[in-house]
């Protein structure tokens, strides 16, 4: 069930049988010469929608702009400041919690979001901690590549040249979902260099084509389909465990 394609009464009915919701979250940023700009928000959205096909779960609209300031030297990247990102997550959570959702799982597709999402959770929980009141809801961060079995599969599929940005696994996921958008290029070198992440101009100088330690040319739609199906199955289990988590008295 997709929140944005539902009516308010349908959401109210869903809340009678479940108080859990999945929020795909990512970033709109460069992904090398062949990666779609939406890769980091498309991957969690693709996986969540695949999971929703076979499970009674509610998927929120995708939070598709994240913390990507280090990619701003590449055209098309859109970024929020960390403080803006944290504030926006807080408003999303408070909106959902106000309707009665007590288990809010953020399915993340961008490594650069992790620190700010965790900081946002701390800010939100602080509202209750300082007043010595229960929050009444719980938050969970899951990176799609950390879902059970997914990392192992990716390492088997891509034993070399996986890297950390514009990776063949994430490119493969988008190739599977959008086969008419597959791009090709001559990568030089085939495996990109690795290094630190700092400001935008430093990143562009270190990684001129946008890749980090990766060879996206290894991606195929077939491998992407394998990743999506496994990730979707793992997400269903992850959400079920989170929804049924016991709350101490």
Q: What is the pLDDT of residues 84-125, one digit of tens each?
A: 999 999 999 999 999 999 999 999 999 999 999 999 999 999
CA distance 86 to 8: 26
* Sequence spans of domains, the chain: 3-7+18-243
CA distance 26 to 80: 12
Exposure letters 104-132 (e unless 16+ CB within 10 A, then b): bbbbbbbbbbeebbeebbeebeeeeeeee
Confidence check: pLDDT of 164 > 80: yes
| CATH superfamily ID and name for 3-7+18-243 | Creatininase (3.40.50.10310)
pLDDT classification of 69: cutoffs 50, 70, 90: very high
């Amino acid at each position: 069930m997709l929140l944005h394609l539902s009516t308010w009464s349908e959401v109210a009915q869903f809340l009678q049988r479940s108080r859990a919701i999945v929020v795909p979250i990512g970033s709109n940023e460069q992904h090398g010469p062949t990666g779609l700009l939406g890769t980091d928000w498309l991957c969690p959205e693709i996986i969540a929608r695949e999971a929703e096909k076979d499970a009674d779960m509610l998927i929120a609209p995708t939070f598709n702009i994240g913390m990507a300031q280090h990619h701003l030297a590449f055209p098309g990247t859109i970024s929020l400041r960390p403080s803006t990102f944290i504030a926006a997550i807080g408003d999303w959570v408070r909106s959902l919690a106000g309707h009665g959702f007590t288990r809010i799982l953020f399915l993340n597709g961008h490594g650069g979001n992790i620190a700010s999402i965790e900081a946002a959770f701390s800010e939100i929980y602080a509202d209750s901690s300082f007043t010595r009141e229960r929050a009444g809801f719980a938050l969970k961060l899951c990176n799609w590549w950390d879902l059970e079995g997914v990392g192992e599969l990716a390492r088997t599929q891509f034993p070399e040249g996986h890297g950390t940005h514009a990776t063949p696994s994430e490119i493969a996921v988008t190739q599977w979902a959008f086969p008419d958008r597959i791009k090709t290029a001559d990568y030089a070198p085939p495996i990109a260099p690795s290094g630190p992440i700092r400001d935008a101009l430093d990143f562009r100088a270190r990684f001129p084509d946008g890749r980090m330690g990766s060879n996206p040319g290894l991606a195929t739609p077939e491998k992407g389909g394998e990743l999506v199906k496994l990730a979707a199955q793992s997400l269903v289990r992850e959400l079920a465990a989170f929804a049924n988590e016991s709350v101490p008295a």
